[in-house]
A and B are shown apart, each in its own frame.
Chain A
Amino acid sequence: QVQLQESGPGLVKPSQTLSLTCTVSGGSISRGDYYWSWIRQPPGKGLEWIGYIYYSGSTYYNPSLKSRVTISVDTSKNQFSLKLSSVTAADTAVYYCASRGRTGSSGYYFDYWGQGTLVTVSS
């Protein structure tokens, strides 16, 4: 059973860079056909996909966040990371890491999720 765990600061100042890491256990981050993802949820609001990375380093970002987002992977540590630059109060949210895989020839879906971590942007 794959498990994911987010870690990082819970408070970030406006204009600074938000940095989070997701540690994957119970499976290799280098497994094929899996994309390692970041998703966020502002308090009381819905889910927003931020982006994901393949173990080879290929990345896919939400066009609305693309200019500020960097997702990277460290296969030696079985971790992947998120950096979001120039944050404002609007970036305050619970940030989830999740795996996106599929079964056979099915479409992709988010099958395993971390518990989420609240990041507040405030001075």
Chain B
Amino acid sequence: QSVLTQPPSASGTPGQRVTISCSGSSSNIGSKTVNWYQQHPGTAPKLLIYSNSQRPSGVPDRFSGSKSGTSASLAISGLQSEDEADYYCEAWDDSLNGVVFGGGTKLTVL
């Protein structure tokens, strides 16, 4: 069971906007920044969002992140077929004194 809780699956049709949630506690999301990663099958994860809402160079602005209290969200607008992948949230946890990941959300583009 992961310290950060994500829905196991999400779906949307091309062009739609989807959001993926990540729920934590005061020792992680509530006091630390959240990062998001995208992972296509058979490949390494790729940094998508860092520091709650910042996009690395090269990441389309269709991807956005936000944080409120002990929860964070990843939003994908103008959904495209290539967005079909697994998405993971991540943060530092002060209680565990380590990095924690969400269990991952498998996004299906219908």
Q: Which residues of A contact B (CB under 8 A)?
A: 37, 46-49, 51, 60-63, 96, 102-103, 106-111, 113-116
**Residue numbers in A under 8 Å from B92 (CB-CB):** 107-108
Nearest-CB distance from A42 to chain B (Å)? 12
The reply to whether B50 and A48 contact each other, CB–CB distance below 8 Å, is: no
B12 at interface, CB cutoff 8 A: no
Interface residues of B in 30-62 (CB under 8 A from A): 32-33, 35, 37, 43-47, 50-51, 54, 56
Pick from B32, B44, B102: contact of A46, CB under 8 Å: B102
Known: A106-B54, A107-B92, A110-B45. A63 touches B33 (CB 8 A): no
The reply to whether A47 and B45 contact each other, CB–CB distance below 8 Å, is: yes
Known: A46-B2, A96-B44, A116-B44. A107 touches B51 (CB 8 A): yes
